[in-house]
Amino acid sequence: MRSPVARNLALCAVAASMVAVGAAAPPTAAAHGPGGAGGAARKAPVAVGYGGAVASVDADASAAGIEVLRAGGNAVDAAVATAAALGVSEPYSSGVGGGGYFVAYDARTRTVHTLDGRETAPLTAGQDLFLEDGKPLPFDAAVTSGLSVGTPGTPATWQAALDAWGSKRLPAVLAPAERLARRGFTVDDTFRAQTAQNEARFRAFPDTARLFLPGGRLPVVGSTFKNPDLARTYRELAREGTGAMYRGDIGADVVKTVNKPPVAPGSSYPARPGKLSAKDLKAYHALFRAPSKTSYRGLGVYSMPPSSSGGTTVGEALNILERTDLSKASKTRYLHRFIEASRIAFADRGRWVGDPAFEDVPTEQLLSQRFADARECLVSDDAVLKSPLAPGDPRHPGACGKTGDKAAPTTYEGENTTHLTTADKWGNVVSYTLTIEQTGGSGITVPGRGFLLNNELTDFSFAPANPAVHDPNLPGPGKRPRSSIAPTIVLDRAGRPVVALGSPGGATIITTVLQTLTGFLDRGLPLVDAIAAPRASQRNAAQTELEPALYDSALRGKLEAIGHSFKANPEIGAATGVQRLPGGKWLAAAETVRRGGGSAMVVDPGR
């Protein structure tokens, strides 16, 4: 008899085939590719077919990845091409001024690998990076400043991934994005709204205002947005390699901009200078790391290890849920258990996870079933754990309910990251989340380069939440701030991909990935429906955030009767994923509504 997971996957495959019937075919690269004469690429949240797949938030970016797949590239090549295009059309979420985490499955060896492309603090940074007169800076003042800018990791990640697993060279995979930047993309409601959110601080920086407020006004929906400076930057990277960032002119411009933010004359905006140096750029490397791994329902769940907390926190929560048959649970019990598992896992991440080059992170113990069992026993079906919950000690799990240090609140992380997922005809898969942190990053555009700089260093704790308890996420020289990014690949018992997915959303990434996985694996939802399902997010806080469809439902009242407390969040995350189907077929899935809907494409919807 097949396991519940196997039955659910079979049902998902059937549902996926049904969804594919009548679905609009993805645009061809020639007619509707990035900057193509055929106009903007069409968006569809699900696509099924052969030859490989790409899912992202943006149709032009997905089309860039499909173009590379059609030209013989593999999933890694397509991921870099899609990411570069997102740097054009999603410039407030990603770009060469940021960083990210890259998870790749090698079909030949049936193994998963990861790249840590997280930004690093300057080598001169100390624990007082965000302190003035002994007090933490206001968050907004820290964000829009040179102090918040970490050494960019995205170009190094692209080159390292191509060198290790790609089949194309950097110029070939940058070509679609360069063309998109040169010819432009069509402004949509989301891009205009995100610009409006940043308008005040964008006006404080002449280069940012010149690029993103053309003619001094917000971009008009339906207009064409071009970025010739970024096109030139991509051509320079293609010609000179990523050394142009880490040892060349692009990097020199980044350092100059960080250390003397180009504020408009007469502006009162207090953009504090940073301390980035050429030495910081030269010292930067994207790091190959062994993936985090846990077993769930007999499947292997692989994700990012520290410096991200994504893999360990999702993994611990799955281990906590392992004892509950979520496929048979009522909606109330399912969400109750999901919320409590999230609360516990976040309590533990806050105490134990930081950059492993600086902190002794007990990754193996955090992912042990023994530790999860010692934490799961805290959960009751008729009561709610109080937050902030104190962490457990994964090195010495002890008896049920035994905790370690005092609780620490979850550090705020900007929510406007972006995620993409790719697969190819050989069976390789990539799950890649990249970011510049806040919507619009630091708000500072590098003059003449066409990209915004990140504010990733604000992911550090500005000061210990409790001076008596060690905080693993304080700044340090060359240190990577803790992240919640959780690009995930799930393998079956034979080591073949079942599903790959990820999401943006700051700390809500973890709960989004966890909820999507359990919706797909346990609740039997087709992937596109698991992605579209209304979300909850509990991050060791007094209240759990709910999207409107849950907040306004009768389910909320049933959970409140147990003891839960909620607040509304209009939108949580923006996931994408791919699913392997029988016979060499792939399903790509993206959001149906969030961020204006995502874009799923396949190389060949027929045969």
DSSP state of 564: -
Tokens at 216, concatenated: 């001094």
Give the closest residue to 314 by CA, choosing from 510, 143, 474: 510
- Angstrom distance (rounded) from CA 85 to CA 574: 17
Are 52 and 586 spatial neighbours (Cβ–Cβ below 8 Å)? yes
- Angstrom distance (rounded) from CA 167 to CA 42: 28
Instruction: Write the DSSP string, 240-282.
Output: H-THHHHTSHHHHHHHHHHHS--PPTT-----------HHHHH
Active site residues: 417
Are 8 and 15 spatial neighbours (Cβ–Cβ below 8 Å)? no
Show the CA angle centred on residue 229, arms to residues 226 and 234, nearest 5°.
100
Residue 345 main-chain phi, psi, to 5 deg = -65, -35
Cα-based distances in Å from 548 to 276, 455, 586, 590: 42, 29, 32, 19
Region for residue 449 given its phi and psi (left: phi exceeds 0; alpha: psi -120 to 50; beta: otherwise)? alpha
Buried b (16+ CB within 10 A) or exposed e, 387-401: bbbbbbbbeebeeee
Number of H helices, E strands in the chain: 21, 20
Alpha-carbon radius of gyration of the chain:
23
- Report the DSSP beta bridge partners of residue 497: 491
Residue 518, SS3 per DSSP: helix
Tokens at 596, concatenated: 């204006």
- Angstrom distance (rounded) from CA 236 to CA 252: 14
Residue 164, SS3 per DSSP: helix
Are 595 and 40 spatial neighbours (Cβ–Cβ below 8 Å)? no
